Amino acid sequence: MYSPTTTRFTAALPAGRPALFLAPMREVTDLPFWRVLHRYGGPDVWFTEYFRAHATARLDRDLLHAIRHPPGGRPVIAQIIGRDIPALLRAAEALQRENLLALDFNVGCPAPVVCRKHAGAGLLRRPAELAAILAALRRHVSIPLTVKTRVGFTDSGGFDDLLNIYAAAGLDALTVHGRTASEMYRGATHYDLIARAARTLPCPVIANGNIISAGIAARVAKETGAAGLMLGRGCIRNPWIFTQIRELFADGHLRTRPTLRDLREYIGVLWHETKPAGFTEKLQVARMKKHLNFIAQKIDADDEFPRQIRRADSELDFFQICDKFLDRDAPFDSETPEQHLTNPGNPRVDCY
């Protein structure tokens, strides 16, 4: 029997298959990006980038705007990060007045600048403090409360103790990114640990990490027994992925099979939909190059496409390169080897 808040959380999710969550990704998953994903099917639940909660922080206005205008009217989870209990409670208090499916607390951010202040994944090294924060949030938050965690800081030896903390906190769901903070975004995801969380916790568990195709989604759902799947970098590369997962779970058949030309069209949509007002062409080229870090790899055998994109310095140049590699009807294979999703050359990804 779930608690009333957990029942409220699960009632908003689809029945008969794992619920699909967008992973929060700072400087990527803003409202314009949500709108792009929505054109291609989109997740069941939107997730905001994190709201900072510290003594002098104010709630980010763009994030608040996103919460109030979710594409398709689909439910939204807002994430907060911090460790100062009064500041967290203030942010939580304001956010729970919005129309949210849940409030999520970030225990996963591995950025050194965050962890040094003992926030994000830094809290994994301070279990007593983590427990105290969760207890305070649980007392004050009347809407569903969730956590997004990693499996440990440098190793997963304390994962069972961590699960005990989450079990005692009365969470309404736990997302597990199946890596330690030290593993950042590289290497295999520890799906066995996600499975352990799903078996042990009294609330739904959401599996996260390297779900980059419908086939992998089905495998992860089976292997972990998770109630939900969360997708990040995979949906930047392949916005059709949510539709493809739904198809696979509906009747085992994948009908949506985009071509490279479809991918080229998507890149055009991304450019136009995500360009902030007043952004110069140069700034938008730089921003698109970050997206292309995830999209352009393993399209041609020699990885000439990402190399050329890195040298593009105008809109014309950028799209001429896209046309050169993508203006054909060949099938687009989204399932690159997982290591290609982690781009060591992209500091924003590695420092998150």
Ligand X SMILES: Cc1cc2nc3c(=O)[nH]c(=O)nc-3n(C[C@H](O)[C@H](O)[C@H](O)COP(=O)(O)O)c2cc1C
- Which of 207/309 has CB closer to ligand X? 207
- Which of 28/321 has CB closer to ligand X? 28
| Min dist. Cβ of residue 316 to ligand X (A) | 27
| Min dist. Cβ of residue 47 to ligand X (A) | 8
Measured distance between the N- and C-terminal CA atoms of the chain, rounded to whole angstroms = 37
How far from chain centre, in Å, is Cα 309? 25
Phi/psi zone of residue 109: left (φ > 0), alpha (ψ -120 to 50 degrees), beta? beta
- Which of 70/234 has CB closer to ligand X? 234
Q: Are 144 and 8 in contact (CB under 8 A)?
A: yes
- As to burial, measured by CB atoms within 10 angstroms (0-12 exposed, 13-18 middle, 19+ buried), residue 313 is exposed
Q: How far apart are CA 132 and CA 152, in angstroms?
A: 18
- Residue 261 identity (one-letter amino acid): R
Give the angle 38-108-338 at the CA atoms, nearest 5°.
65
Query: Which DSSP symbol is given to 45?
Result: B
- Which of 117/348 has CB closer to ligand X? 348
Q: How far apart are CA 294 and CA 346, in angstroms?
A: 10
Which residues in this chain contact ligand X in the complex, by CB under 6 A?
23-26, 28, 49-50, 79, 106, 108-109, 148, 177, 185, 208-211, 231-234, 348-349, 352
| Min dist. Cβ of residue 228 to ligand X (A) | 13
Residues near 277 by beta carbon (within 8 Å), at least 6 away in sequence? none
| Min dist. Cβ of residue 342 to ligand X (A) | 8
Residues near 94 by beta carbon (within 8 Å), at least 6 away in sequence? 59
Output phi, psi for 22, to 5 deg. -75, 135
| Min dist. Cβ of residue 81 to ligand X (A) | 7
| Min dist. Cβ of residue 261 to ligand X (A) | 25
- Which of 125/261 has CB closer to ligand X? 125
| Min dist. Cβ of residue 313 to ligand X (A) | 23
Q: How far apart are CA 318 and CA 289, in angstroms?
A: 9
What residue number has its CB nearest to ligand X? 232
- Which of 193/325 has CB closer to ligand X? 193
- Which of 100/325 has CB closer to ligand X? 100
